[in-house]
Structure 1
């Protein structure tokens, strides 16, 4: 079995593996629960960035969910499409943070990314009627 096929099988398994996370016992599922070391290894030789894009798609979905939570509880949402922190910058952030913190999970880097976007002033106060 080729290394690429092994990566695809591992990626498929990770997409279905649940994890109870962050003291609130909200179950997280998907590739975001994998360690950054796995992300680093799987994206090292990734022609076409298929695996990297799969991780990033998961993060975009997770951050969209974070927006829903903060919108309900704190009345703001982060602009995930901001030109000052665009998708290329977001992917670079994930790559950089996973290289720096290989023992942490990808979802931990997503939380850091969300916090960074708030620090950069990319949150919008939204009043719902």
Structure 2
């Protein structure tokens, strides 16, 4: 798991303020696939979905580690109001609505939502 986190931190090394700028970033791992692939591979396979979600957690942890000082310092990636099962549901719903985008786009949206949860 530490290797995955380190890999995610490297993959997001060119991110600024937790978001990609105009430059392109090469994201790697199971979560670098399309939402369509995610939906097909996880259909009826909770163990596979766990792998995708573990990647998402590592990726978001990497974003958090790369955030500049003072930004996202108190961000809780598993808040009581948005537990892990609800986050996994968010990603499934995102991909169902957006099958042609990347799974990582859904993870970026989840991260932004965790930064500013709905009231």
Residue 27 of structure 1 aligns with which residue?
26
Query: 1:91 is matched with which residue: 72, 88, 91?
Result: 88
Q: Point out the structure with the larger helix share.
A: 1
RMSD of Structure 2 on Structure 1 (CA): 2.1
| Mapping 1:1-129, distance limit 5 Å | 23-46=22-45, 49-70=46-67, 72-77=68-73, 78-120=75-117
Gaps of 5+ in 2: 1-10, 12-19
The alignment's TM-score, normalised by the length of structure 2, stands at 0.75
Gaps of 5+ in 1: 1-17, 122-129
The alignment's TM-score, normalised by the length of structure 1, stands at 0.69
Q: Point out the structure with the larger strand share.
A: 1
Residue 5 of structure 1 aligns with which residue?
none
Number of positions where the alignment pairs a residue of Structure 1 with one of Structure 2: 99
Question: Separation in 2 of the partners of 1:35 and 1:76?
Answer: 27
